[in-house]
Structure 1
Amino acid sequence: MKVDTSSAGDAGVRAGAGESAVAAAVAAGEAVLSRRFGSAITLVHPEDLEGSGPATVVRARVVSSSFALPRTLVVKHYPDPPVPGRGDRFAQEAVSYQLFTALAPDERMCPELLAHDGRDRVLVIEDLGRAPTLQDKLAARDSRAAERALLSWARSLGRLHASTASREADFNALLRRLGGPGRIEESDLAAQAAEVPPMLAGLLGVSVPEAVLERVATAVSQARSAAFRAFSPVELSPDNNLVTGSGVRFLDFERGRVRTALVDAAYLRLPFAFCSDALALPAGMSEAMIAAWRAEVVSVWPSFADDAELAELLTVSELLLVWQITRVTLPRLDLRRHAAPVSREAALVTWWRNLAKHAGYARHTDVAEHATRVAAALGARLGPHADLAFYPAFR
């Protein structure tokens, strides 16, 4: 599944490496492993895993050695230097894996980091094998298997949050050691949010009431808050999660950082919304996922045991998430033609309708009424079939 990163300022995308890139990754992996273990280690039979980010990702077999290395492992090589003024994807991923590798295995939620090197910009991580991804489960025709995978994903996300809720200082210290900033700064959410009202007015003829603008300002403040902070993979795409016998495991930390966990929790209401081919889940699935996530984090954040308080916090985060999706998506849509059920047009209508429903439950009447107007304006332009289709597993 592809993630819409057009506004993220990536240094580049390496979708499918050539032979020279694979060879460079293998050489970098051998070098860092040899330094780590003090003896030459050879990697053979490399397989290009075709990462969608700036890294070359290779699975390789380890030639027999005296070290307790697994038979196969995964090398992630970032051949390009960081772009000044932009985040360093290598540093963020290396630090993320370091953070989790320091935890007990049952708290790790990701492959183990075996070796890394800032000079060669390479990581060597545990190979979790050829387990299906969460996307594979959603694309198959087994609804029960897809349900179990989604609930496992939500539980793993909660355990990830709970195990890192007090580790921000550790993350920042590790980042500094790799030459990164002492803290990854928030994007200018207020400036981004300010772009949406004129967009809604100009493209849809819907004005934003002052009360809703105040709710958005609250959402921005909540996203920047020091409360409920924990590690986040940020790119919550089903392709980045392996469904293993020990639960769902996260794979991609190129944008990993510490932020309020409520941002991630909002994705349980609008699953994978920033993915370009996101589809819908059946009624009740999101609520079940939130319950699974809450069961893992409530011991760390006891206030989440209060249904009303959690609904309030999640609705505020959901509002900002829909706002951000609209900012990125709306200008690109073709509002002159009817939407297909698997289109981004249908997705945007669905996210606004969901926001209206959830805001109504939380008694945010102003947001519910505004979201209803936006959804109606989109529906009027996109036709009667602007309902987002379910993932194949739920059809």
Structure 2
Amino acid sequence: MTVDTSSADDSTVGAGAETLAVAAAVAAGESVLTRRFGSAITLVAPEDLAGSGPATVVRARVASSPFALPRTLVIKHYPDPPEPGRPDPFAQEAVSYQLFTALAPEDRMCPELLAHDGRDRVLVIEDLGGVPTLHDKLHARDARGAERALLSWARSLGRLHATTASREPDFNALLRRLGGPVKNEDAPLPAVCAQLPGLLEELLDVETPEPVQQRVMEVAERAGAPSYRAFSPVDLSPDNNLVTSGGVRFLDFERGRVRSTLMDVAYLRLPFASSADALALPPGMSEAMIAAWRSEVVSVWPGLADEDALAEHLMDGQLLLLWVLTWEILPELDLDRHATPISREAALVTWWRELAKHSLRARLTHISEHATRVAAALGARLGPHADLAFYPAFR
């Protein structure tokens, strides 16, 4: 007898797979904790936290343990190994947590790593509880609360950079132990930047003058220099940041690595620009965030106490991040329809306008003129409403 399953409820099948994944994560968590502490530890009442990456993320309660463990823990289980030649998100995350767990508690800008195992590809970390994320704060109707959260985020980012500025050898050594590749850039920055002028000409009919290309390539090369390097979570989306009573704490280090802070500091000018739903901040907010970030890093990089040096660092980061984002985003955009104020299209127009404004202030006339032409070409294609809206907290 043949059973016809073509009409089966896909949601039921999916729910079964999720249940099995949660059970596997709990079993892996119990196993690594038992090996770590030398006695059986039982976890119960698992809650699927629906992680967006390759890991199954589960909160579970410690039912029985002879040790003083927290009441609840978070388990991240990576059941599938990476494709050959690809970075391993488990290794990146495990090493990132190891790096921070070795620091003093006041310098730890993330939950504490309690146990991990490369064989089971599992991490068990501290549960910070049901506190709001930065995304929650930006989408609530409390402008003051959102401002405080943003300044806390900027300070935490600065503290993260300051405490890891000299830790690249440690990070690389830990990564080698877990078999992860030390060099883990998404794409070579000079190669990416070299491709954008062709895209701008093909899709927007905007030429990129040689002085502009030369400046961008210099910045891209500078991003590989040893100065101003520190750990970066890379994925700085607002929903990956918890707003705790002790300040903002970072989550999700699946792409974490040491790199130039040029890319991170650019988020102070282009807030959370890599997020698909990135919106705008009110005037003055970016400047306040920059001041909060600098207050944490100036003891490590005293050169940034100089206003001109800081302005150049910010300008370089903004320029580089926008070129990379445009290279990624532009080919995927629908340039034949009017943009809404909460669209990716509106974001790109606004960011090029911001680059034009800041580069003009820096007396980089060739950069400003080029950015103005790109913004105008985008605006002409996307209509009169291609202005990025504020986050709901500031409307």
TM-score interval w.r.t. the shorter chain?
Answer: over 0.9
Cα contact 1:15–1:50 (8 A) shared by 2? no
1:313-337 superposed Cα distances (whole Å, 9 cap, x missing partner) = 2111211111111111111111112
CA-CA distance at 1:183 after TM superposition? 4.1
Which position in structure 2 is the counterpart of 1:208?
Answer: 208
For 1:17 and 1:259, the matched residues in 2 are separated by: 37
Cα contact 2:113–2:124 (8 A) shared by 1? yes
For 1:44 and 1:364, the matched residues in 2 are separated by: 60
**Matched letter for residue 172 of structure 1:** N
SS in 1 for 2:330: helix
Cα 1:192–1:72 change in 2 (3 A) is: same
Which position in structure 2 is the counterpart of 1:196?
Answer: 196
**Matched letter for residue 49 of structure 1:** L
* TM-score scaled by length of structure 1: 0.95
**Matched letter for residue 351 of structure 1:** W
Cα 1:258–1:16 change in 2 (3 A) is: farther
For 1:205 and 1:49, the matched residues in 2 are separated by: 45
For 1:185 and 1:64, the matched residues in 2 are separated by: 42
For 1:165 and 1:91, the matched residues in 2 are separated by: 20
For 1:55 and 1:186, the matched residues in 2 are separated by: 19
Which position in structure 2 is the counterpart of 1:176?
Answer: 176
**Matched letter for residue 140 of structure 1:** A
Cα contact 2:134–2:241 (8 A) shared by 1? yes
Which position in structure 1 is the counterpart of 2:288?
Answer: 288
CA-CA distance at 1:262 after TM superposition? 2.0
**Matched letter for residue 105 of structure 2:** P
Spell out the pairing of 1:70-219 with structure 2 (5 A cutoff): 70-185=70-185, 187-219=187-219
1:157-201 superposed Cα distances (whole Å, 9 cap, x missing partner) = 000000001100100111111112344357321221122111111
1:343-391 superposed Cα distances (whole Å, 9 cap, x missing partner) = 1110000010111111112221111110011001111111111100000
For 2:80 and 2:313, the matched residues in 1 are separated by: 40
For 1:83 and 1:89, the matched residues in 2 are separated by: 11
1:239-296 superposed Cα distances (whole Å, 9 cap, x missing partner) = 0000000000001100000011121001110011111111000011111101100000
* TM-score scaled by length of structure 2: 0.95
For 1:235 and 1:112, the matched residues in 2 are separated by: 19
For 1:265 and 1:182, the matched residues in 2 are separated by: 23
Cα contact 2:43–2:64 (8 A) shared by 1? no
Spell out the pairing of 1:343-382 with structure 2 (5 A cutoff): 343-382=343-382
**Matched letter for residue 109 of structure 1:** M
Spell out the pairing of 1:257-272 with structure 2 (5 A cutoff): 257-272=257-272
Deviates more, 1:188-197 or 1:139-148: 188-197
Cα contact 1:17–1:48 (8 A) shared by 2? no
For 1:369 and 1:20, the matched residues in 2 are separated by: 56
Which position in structure 2 is the counterpart of 1:232?
Answer: 232
**Matched letter for residue 206 of structure 1:** V
SS in 1 for 2:258: strand
For 1:296 and 1:15, the matched residues in 2 are separated by: 45
Cα contact 1:133–1:241 (8 A) shared by 2? yes
**Matched letter for residue 291 of structure 2:** A
Find the structure with the greater CA-based Rg: 2
SS in 2 for 1:373: helix
For 1:170 and 1:335, the matched residues in 2 are separated by: 46
CA-CA distance at 1:218 after TM superposition? 1.1
Which position in structure 2 is the counterpart of 1:335?
Answer: 335
For 1:38 and 1:98, the matched residues in 2 are separated by: 20
For 1:44 and 1:257, the matched residues in 2 are separated by: 33
Cα contact 1:131–1:242 (8 A) shared by 2? yes
CA-CA distance at 1:123 after TM superposition? 0.1
For 1:348 and 1:240, the matched residues in 2 are separated by: 22
1:117-155 superposed Cα distances (whole Å, 9 cap, x missing partner) = 000000000000000000000000000000000000000
Which position in structure 2 is the counterpart of 1:273?
Answer: 273
For 2:70 and 2:243, the matched residues in 1 are separated by: 20
For 1:107 and 1:169, the matched residues in 2 are separated by: 19
1:42-84 superposed Cα distances (whole Å, 9 cap, x missing partner) = 0000000000000000000001322010000000000001211
For 2:17 and 2:165, the matched residues in 1 are separated by: 36
**Matched letter for residue 347 of structure 1:** A
Q: Provide the alpha-carbon RMSD of the alignment.
A: 1.4
SS in 2 for 1:62: strand
CA-CA distance at 1:222 after TM superposition? 1.8
Which position in structure 2 is the counterpart of 1:11?
Answer: none
SS in 1 for 2:223: helix
For 1:43 and 1:65, the matched residues in 2 are separated by: 9
Which position in structure 2 is the counterpart of 1:8?
Answer: none
Identity rate of aligned residues, in percent? 75
CA-CA distance at 1:15 after TM superposition? 12
SS in 2 for 1:57: strand
Which runs of 5 or more structure 2 residues have no equivalent in the other structure? 1-13
Aligned length: 382
SS in 2 for 1:18: helix
**Matched letter for residue 91 of structure 1:** A
Instruction: Give the 4+ runs in structure 1 shifted more than 3 A.
Output: 14-17, 182-186
Cα contact 1:215–1:316 (8 A) shared by 2? no
SS in 2 for 1:161: helix
Deviates more, 1:16-25 or 1:51-60: 16-25
Cα contact 1:218–1:316 (8 A) shared by 2? no
